[in-house]
Amino acid sequence: MNQRYSRGRSFNKFSANRSRQFNRTTASRRPFGQSIDPAKFINKAVVVTQEDSFVPTNKFSDFNLNQKLLANIMAKGYSTPTRIQDKVIPQIQKGLDVVGVANTGTGKTGAFLIPLIEKVIKNPKEQILILAPTRELALQINQELKSFARGIKIYSACCVGGASIYAQLHELKYVNEFVIGTPGRIKDLIKRGVLNLSYFSTIVLDEADRMLDMGFINDTREIISLMPKIRHTLFFSATMGKEVESLVKEFLKNPTIILAKTAETPESIEQDVIRVGSSDKIEILYSLLIKEEFQKILIFGRTKFSVERLSKILKSRGLSVESIHGNKAHSKRQRALEDFKKDTVKILVATDIAARGLDIPEVSHVINFDVPATYEDYIHRIGRTGRANKRGKALTFVN
Q: Is residue 131 part of a domain?
A: yes
If asked whether residues 77 and 192 sit together in one domain, one would say yes
282 with 254, same domain: the answer is: no
The reply to whether 3 falls in a domain is: no
Does residue 364 lie in a domain region?
yes
Q: Do 231 and 276 share a domain, yes or no?
A: no
CA 271 to chain CA centroid, Å, is 21
- Distance (Å, rounded) from C-alpha 343 to C-alpha 330? 20
State yes or no: pLDDT of 368 exceeds 80.
yes
Residues 141, 289, single domain; the answer is: no
Which long-range contacts does 55-64 make (Cβ < 8 Å, 24+ apart)? 56/80, 56/81, 56/82, 56/83, 56/85, 56/86, 57/86, 58/86, 58/89, 58/90, 60/114, 63/89, 63/90, 63/93, 63/114, 63/115, 63/118
Provide the percentage of residues in the chain whose pLDDT is more than 70: 83
Does 46 share its domain with 70? no
Last residue of a domain, one of 238, 259, 280: 259
Question: By mean pLDDT, which of 25-29, 98-102, 269-273, 328-332 is the weakest?
Answer: 25-29
Using CB atoms within 10 Å of the CB of residue 290, give its burial: 0 to 12 exposed, 13 to 18 middle, 19+ buried: exposed
Report if residue 321 sits inside a domain: yes
Say whether both 214 and 78 belong to one domain: yes
Report whether pLDDT(22) > 70: no
| Angle separating helix axes 135-148 and 108-122, nearest 10 degrees | 50
Domain count, the chain: 2
Same domain assignment for residues 87 and 64: yes
pLDDT for res 242:
81
- Per-position DSSP letters for 173-236, written without gaps between them: TB--SEEEE-HHHHHHHHHTTS--GGG--EEEE-SHHHHHHTT-HHHHHHHHHTS-SS-EEEEE
Query: Do 130 and 228 touch, CB atoms closer than 8 A?
Result: no
Residue type, 300: F
Looking at residue 273, its pLDDT comes to 86
40 band by pLDDT with thresholds 50, 70 and 90: low
Sheet holding 232-237, edge to edge: 156-159, 178-181, 128-131, 202-205, 232-237, 98-101, 256-259
Could you list the beta-strand ranges (E) of 105-197: 128-131, 156-159, 178-181
Q: Are residues 219 and 107 in the same domain?
A: yes
The average confidence (pLDDT) of the chain is: 83
At 102 the pLDDT is 82
266 pLDDT above the threshold of 80 = no
Residue 166's identity, in one-letter code, is Y
Helix and strand numbers, DSSP H then E, in the chain? 13, 14
- 26 part of a folded domain: yes
* DSSP letter (8 states) at residue 26: G
CA proximity to 190, closest of 381, 7, 2: 2
* pLDDT tens digit sequence for 93-149: 999 999 998 876 788 999 999 999 999 999 999 999 999 998 889 999 999 999 999
Instruction: Please indicate, yes or no, whether residues 382 and 236 belong to a single structural domain of this protein.
Output: no
pLDDT in tens, 140-153: 999 999 999 999 99
Residue 150: alpha-carbon gap to chain centroid: 22
C-alpha–C-alpha distance, residues 365 and 358, integer Å = 15
SS3 of 235-272: EEECCCCHHHHHHHHHHCCCCEEEECCCCCCCCCEEEE
3-state SS class at 45: helix
Asked if residue 73 and residue 205 are part of one domain, the reply reads yes
- CA gap 85, 78 in Å, rounded: 11
Question: Distance between CA atoms of 86 and 79, rounded to whole angstroms?
Answer: 12
Q: Looking at the structure, do residues 226 and 302 belong to the same domain, yes or no?
A: no
Instruction: Tell me how far apart the alpha carbons of residues 170 and 189 are, in angstroms, rounded to a whole number.
Output: 11
Establish if 8 belongs to a structural domain. Answer: no
- In angstroms, what CA-CA distances link 387 with 97, 105, 131, 217, 321? 28, 6, 24, 29, 22
Note whether 325 and 206 are same-domain residues. no
Residue-level pLDDT at 381: 86
Q: At which of 232, 259, 286 does a domain end?
A: 259
Where among 193, 224, 259 does a domain terminate? 259
Is the pLDDT at 169 greater than 90, yes or no? yes
- Note down the domain range covering 103: 60-259
Question: By C-alpha distance, which of 122, 117, 176, 121 is closest to 144?
Answer: 117
Q: Find out whether 336 and 323 touch, Cβ atoms under 8 Å.
A: yes
241 located within any domain = yes
The DSSP letter of residue 15 is: E
Residue 1 lies in a domain: no
DSSP string, 296-337: SEEEE-SSHHHHHHHHHHHHHTT--EEEE-TTS-HHHHHHHH
CA distance 197 to 187: 11
Q: CATH number for the domain including 239?
A: 3.40.50.300
**Element holding 393 (H helix, E strand):** strand 392-398
